A = this chain, B = another copy of it.
């Protein structure tokens, strides 16, 4: 479904519009039609029509004076709609806070969306002098780092698809596929995953899966910290805390 396969979308305007919105979201400054079209390999006229339609929907803003486009507040309305119904963030926050303070590390709650990305939906910063940070809304490749090993272990995906996607990942210190597969297998047994500097050098990530219903992976919890700090605090202990919190969350999510 979310494959990289050839299946051509029956509504390509959507993909283009989403690309425009993301580009505007990541851009520091307002952009003109041609700049957007060039960046996204779109035809300027098509790009213009899409921008006008998006502006009509109040998802992008248009400054007639400078003829530049930006994101508009309409995206806030959508985000609010999502937040209103999301129970995960509410349930996860106290658990994230507790683990973050007890272990002095930054904790993230991420949502898994298909095999493409995971998105940070909740966070709790640690207490140390120096803390890693990631904004709510940030996207990461679904199979990267420790959370990615959880997705691979519990997502119920075709091993062949995993192999293909694995080859497209960008790590700072890439593991070999065989080594990664072994770690994924271990994750399936222990219920948590560890990434020691593979994704980002010097950064250790410990993650555990959260299921919205038995067998249905939907989120993951992740502790991120500098490798030295994690080792000092005891990696095993941390892994136990993260996995415990994730289990507790899974129960509450599938429960009521």
Point out residues on A near B: beta carbons under 8 Å: 1-3, 9-15, 17-18, 21-22, 24-26, 28, 49-50, 52-59, 61-62, 65, 70-86, 111, 113-114, 116-117, 119, 121, 135-139, 216
Contact = CB atoms under 8 A, between A and B. Distances in A.
A81 B71 contact: yes
Contact of A79 (B14, B18, B78, B113): B78
Nearest to A112: B73
Given A2-B56, A52-B10, A113 B78 contact: no
A9 B139 contact: no
A18 to B, nearest CB: 4
A10 B76 contact: no
B80 A138 contact: yes
A9 B71 contact: no
B25 A136 contact: no
A49 B11 contact: yes
Contacts of A53: 9-12, 14-15
A61 B24 CA distance: 23
A242 to B, nearest CB: 20
B116 A11 contact: no
Contacts of A111: 72-73
A250 B54 CA distance: 27
A77 B110 CA distance: 12
A55 B18 contact: no
A147 B127 CA distance: 43
A171 to B, nearest CB: 22
Contacts of A11: 13, 17, 49-50, 52-53
